[in-house]
Amino acid sequence: MATQNLPVSQTRSFTTVFLIEMWERFGFYGMQVLMVTYMMKKLGFVDTKANLVWGAAAALIYATPAIGGWVGDKLIGTRRTMLTGAVVLMLGYAMLWIPSSNPTLLYTALGVIVVGNGFFKPNAGNLVRKIYEGDDTRIDSAFTIYYMAVNVGSMISMTATPWIRNYVGENYGDSLGWHTAFGACAVGLILGLGNYMLMFRTLAHIGSPADERPVGIKRILALLAASLVMVFVAASILQSLLIAKGAVILAGIIILCIFAYLISNSQKSERSGLIVALVLTVQTIFFFIFYAQMATSLNLFAQKNVDLAFNVFGFHLFTWIPEQYQNLNAIWIVILSPVLVFFYNSLGRIGKDPSVAAKFALGFAAVAVGFFMYGIGAMSAVAGQVSSWTMVWGYGLYSLGELLVSGLGLAMIARYVPARMGGFMMGAYYVAVGISQYLGSIVANYASIPQDVSDPVQSLPIYISLFNKLGLVGIACTVVALAVLPVMKKLSNTHAEHTPLPAVHSEELA
């Protein structure tokens, strides 16, 4: 394993966190990979409504960590909050296991998942940050390996849950197939919790000060009451797209106000780092608009306009279920992560490691080329369907961009944000990601297919038009990211001048 050269205590601590995160990702992506088509095929939603409901749910899923980070920092502790989140997520997926086609149950289950993710996500990331506080190259490498490790969970679930849905559905009834697949996500969280119970001692020395203090019954009851209110609020938002839109706008205003407040009230030595974090967070918002296409427009494109057979020189290898193409994202991340870690460490040893801002620019360029791949594939489409290999290469470039942008988003917070506000800023970062998830669903609706259109030949140009436009936006983002590099370098150097070096450097990741 890539962490074998680290001190044993760090390796075990890291392993404990990424294993529970791996199972959490198993549950989340196993649910996500089916959700839009479930709403369309079982609940009767049109594609535009399904996209927006999922976009609103994804926005809330990413936004609530801002609260969860604060709970971990100040109330019950980072470790306790992460564990609480895993339990709540398991309950949310278990609700989707119930064989019902009632939309209210779906909205409530998603509300529970929203709250659980809010507790879990920022605190898992913050624990990794605390384990690997040190030099910049080491933080980038640690979070890249972490990103790769947790994608193993999503890779397994995005393959398994569509297959479970089809197998159970064909043998025991369509409705039972869908809900059994969602139930597998709950089982994943149960396995993750069991694994954590066996290894929790490895994190005994890692956490926030609140982890070392006892938690009173009044605080527990208050947190439970607040969580139930949040479930109700989230479910209400999902049932009203107008409220969802207003909530996203409000969240955008709040995140900007948070950064403005922190920058204006920070110490002079912290200000340049916070400005860099703000600029990179804005760039991250644009990236996640692209990312949101995976569960929406790219998923529906695979349903209608992709030849599901994988053939090589006329020989048939295998056939995929349409939702399984989302799995290409996780597969490519697992393949590419070690390669990037090798380059980061090799360049870091000679003092040539590119800045996070430069990596963001390269990431946007990769995403732009990835979206153009679908247009290229459409040139040789047969009966309105592109080759499965078009999806492979499109997702490959898209995933490289994700590693360079999203994969380093948490490392960016760890590098530029003062440790005293680490958990809260991890949460604020996820609020920004949540905003872009909803914006991404709005963008996906530009490829809405009229209900009277069933011929792939007619739907193909609608999707390709959207993907080409996204490619052009990706080029524009690359140009902007390159243009601000000199300013970002100056700010980063100022931040480095005011940041003390760690007294002892642990071994780098291999």
d(CA 180, CA 30): 11
State residue 5's pLDDT score: 47
d(CA 49, CA 20): 33
Mean pLDDT of 157-171: 94
Is 485 in contact with 361 (CB distance < 8 Å)? Answer: yes
How would residue 334 be classed by pLDDT, with cut points 50, 70 and 90? Answer: confident
> Is the alpha carbon torsion for 340, 188, 78, 19 positive or negative?
negative
State residue 57's pLDDT score: 93
Percent of the chain with pLDDT over 90: 44
How would residue 35 be classed by pLDDT, with cut points 50, 70 and 90? Answer: very high
Mean pLDDT of 438-448: 93
State residue 2's pLDDT score: 43
User: Is residue 300 exposed (0-12), middle (13-18) or buried (19+ Cβ within 10 Å)?
Assistant: buried
State residue 323's pLDDT score: 94
State residue 265's pLDDT score: 72
What's the predicted TM-score (pTM) here?
0.83
* Enclosing H/E stretch for 99: none
Domain chopping of the chain, boundaries: 8-497
d(CA 308, CA 386): 9
SS3 402: helix
Is 202 in contact with 16 (CB distance < 8 Å)? Answer: yes
d(CA 266, CA 335): 40
CATH topology of domain 8-497: Growth Hormone; Chain: A; (1.20.1250)
Q: Could you tell me which of 415, 407, 510 has the C-alpha nearest to residue 134?
A: 415
Q: How far is CA 423 from CA 34, 145, 154, 416, 429, in A?
A: 31, 20, 24, 13, 10
SS3 312: strand
State residue 14's pLDDT score: 79
Each residue's pLDDT tens digit, 128-150: 777 776 545 566 666 667 767 67
Give the least confident one: 260-269, 325-334, 445-454, 486-495.
Answer: 486-495
Q: How far is CA 337 from CA 332, 333, 408, in A?
A: 8, 6, 11
Mean pLDDT of 333-346: 83
d(CA 411, CA 433): 15
Q: Is the pLDDT of residue 381 over 90?
A: yes
How would residue 493 be classed by pLDDT, with cut points 50, 70 and 90? Answer: low
